Structure 1
Amino acid sequence: MTSSRPDFDPELHSLLTQMPLNSQLTPDLLATLRQYPSTPPETFYGRRTVERQDVTVPAQDGAQLPLSIFSPVGAEAAPCIYWMHGGGMVMGDRLSQIDIPLEWLEEFGAVVVSVDYRLAPEVSGSTLVDDCYAGLLWIAEHADELGIDRDRIIIAGASAGGGLAAGITLMARDRRSVAIAAQILICPMLDHRGVTASSHQYSGDPGIWTREMNEFGWSSVLAGSTSPSSYLSPALAEDLSGLPVTYIDAGTAEVFRDEDVSYASRIWAAGGQADLHVWSGGFHGFDAVFPQAALSREARHTRTSWLSRTLIRLTPSRTDHPEPAYASR
């Protein structure tokens, strides 16, 4: 463990001390964590009337992948948020952290689609990112019946889901398939190598996501491989040009800080646009774990403000839609 490192935000640290934490993730602990259900999405519906539809779509290998579609009533030519959940690629489901994209359904009338990609170690390698990509192709194919504007499909995810979101955005660019309007990468898990300073700083002590937990997650999905695809470990991608506008955020006090900063820097170097926010004292997933904390509220507000501006830029000719509720706050 590196002794010198950024401290946690005082309020977040106080909240964190009330949680049972571990420094290691083991198969037994993983089995226990997988038993905890996600919060019912109805909790987060807010003012809008929301319609939910659950479907299955075929994966590349023929497996059936569950997707949940959350739509405001009467959605027509609406923006789409395609959501990939977090969980280190070894846990979570399509309802994990669903409160984050459902805020955007509330504010902007977006259709939210979330995918249950398969998890390691039951599957390994590119299967996880291939599953997410299969969901993206299905959304594009069924956009009209879902009330989605194909020109406003936004890829978003947190932690492992942020890495998978980055991966399928690269896939869509390289395969010239779906035109992605923007990507939102929340503390994304981008690099399997674990060579950055921040990946060493948050080791040894119990936490939300430590170096040791990260090694467990990556070893589970890599299954002995030392050369994963750049779609699975996007930090390996040699070319970051031609990507859509990107939002990346992380905390100063987390394992993924440096790989996330590097990814944004490389997008800039390739001539792209990326908004990068590194929140002082934020640990991994702080705004999802403790959304009531002051720093979390600021991070979520800033992210939603960016999305509001992005959606306005994507719809310059539209004059018949109401101003997003968020813009008046």
Structure 2
Amino acid sequence: MNLLDTLLRCVGALVVFLTFPLIIGQTEHKVMAHMQGRLGPMYAGGFHGWAQLVADGVKFVQKEDIVPAEADRKVFQLAPAVSLLPYLIVLLVIPVGPNGFVGQALDAGLFFVLAVMGIGVIGKLMAGWASANKFSLLGGLRTAAQLMSYELPMVLAAASVAMAAGTVSLTGIVAAFHWWWIPWQAVGAFVFFTAGLAELQRPPFDMPIADSEIIFGAYTEYTGLRFAFFLLSEYAGILVVSALTAVLFLGGWHGPLPDSLGWLWTLLKTFALAFVVIWLRVTYPRLREDQLMRFAWTGLVPLALGQLALTGIVKVAIS
């Protein structure tokens, strides 16, 4: 019965959270349409373009599935799944509410999510290498450089909040949260969220895609549903980064709502952060590659180390 209960919870969480990336994708269409005066996304289906997401899905299904003749066929076909599945797996261990409101609670949940999120980036590396296209390969190399640069500050920022809570369990971190942590861990939250955007290659950190320079990076040779899976992995990544930031630095289910409605408070924080991700896309221009690297090593890494040192000092002072 315990195994069946765990399986049902995992399947239920996957079904629920698989719809959330689609909601974020639909929201991005609408938010960008309002911010940039785009009329197209407001027409599909009539009222406020409610069928835009359905129209996009039909479009991707109808497109021909093409594999370049010189591509490494198996790796090329596997890359979209490798890019998407890790983010869906991570969603299973992120606590949404108190009293076990989580797909699968892990004692080392923070280690698990950081490790599995890195696998999602490998899918993009596979796509860039297997496409037999110089633009795709260049996009894959940029992805690798970006991953190595921004993984370090992200891990250091997460280590800071784990040190503050005295546990690497995501549920334990939320349970140990106090409201005065928000200003105390504010720098760590900024570093974690920013590094997460860079790992997702979201603007202004989208140099591995850079459609005006290298067509569409690692995705250049992809069409149809495989290309749609890459887009879905990006939206799933937005959900993961936003949810982790809410859980680690904003108290997760803690808020003015009763504990029984804590899940709602977590979702509100998550989607507020997802809105910030979309807002950044339409607000800031793409960084140059040298600016991208410099920002990580001379900006985020020192900030993360400073936050880690501050956390250690505060922990010693209050103990």
Considering the TM-score relative to the shorter chain, is it more than 0.5?
no
Looking at secondary structure, tell me which structure has more helix per residue: 2
Query: Rg: which structure is higher?
Result: 2
TM-score by length of 2: 0.31
Looking at secondary structure, tell me which structure has more strand per residue: 1
